[in-house]
Structure 1
């Protein structure tokens, strides 16, 4: 399956995510994105830096993170996942061995369902070596 197919069918196709992206674990390239949901080079690098250095988790929690030009307040962060909100909008970000998955949910979507959708895909990718 192509990376774009994971974005289109596994994430957005679930009905729990309205926009998504998959970027390299190094934060240097986007492998697949939903049309109009573009993470800047700086945003991708910042996500990679959070996972590369645990000290950056505290900075993200204090300052928030930027996704597709919008600032989100970090609600929860650990070595694998970041959950952040901007009002009723939110993002779930998960790290696999080689990729960072970013799932965005809209106002009418349930954050827990969005989170589970991204986590399940991350578990699958880890299980197949990605």
Structure 2
């Protein structure tokens, strides 16, 4: 399956995510994305740094995200949770769920009407699957 197919069918196709992208674990390249969900290089690098720090517990990028928020596709989100290998942030009733596999970072955006827990579970399930198949 192509990276774009994972975005289209596994994430957006779930009905819990309306926009998504898959990027390299280093945050230096976008492998697949939904149209119009354009993250800036600095945003991707910040996300990659936070995800890397999460395996150590915390760090300066995580602390800054909690204090100042996190920008995704030019929009500011309040960081609600950073766990080992995952992050959840919200902007009112919409939110973003981020999870890592061995080689990729998955970013899913959910709309107002979606349940945050279902969106998070969808992104995490794909990340777990990718880990299981070596990605």
With the shorter chain as reference, the TM-score category is: over 0.9
**Root-mean-square deviation (CA), in Å?**
0.8
Does the residue aligned with 2:36 lie in a helix, a strand or coil? coil
Q: 1:108 aligns with which of 113, 116, 122?
A: 113
1:94 matched to 2:85? no
Q: Give the corresponding residue for 2:69.
A: 64
Alignment partner of 2:82 out of 48, 59, 77: 77
Once residues 129 and 43 of structure 1 are traced to their aligned partners in structure 2, the CA distance between those partners, rounded to angstroms, is 26
How far apart are 1:19 and its partner, in Å? 0.3
Q: TM-score, normalising length from structure 1? A: 0.97
Deviates more, 1:70-79 or 1:55-64: 55-64
* Aligned-partner SS, 1:59: helix
**Structure 1 unaligned spans of 5+:** none
Distance across 1 between alignment mates of 2:49 and 2:118: 27
Q: Does 1:117 align with 2:116?
A: no
Q: Which runs of 5+ in 2 are unaligned?
A: none
Which secondary structure state, in structure 2, belongs to the residue aligned with residue 13 of structure 1? helix
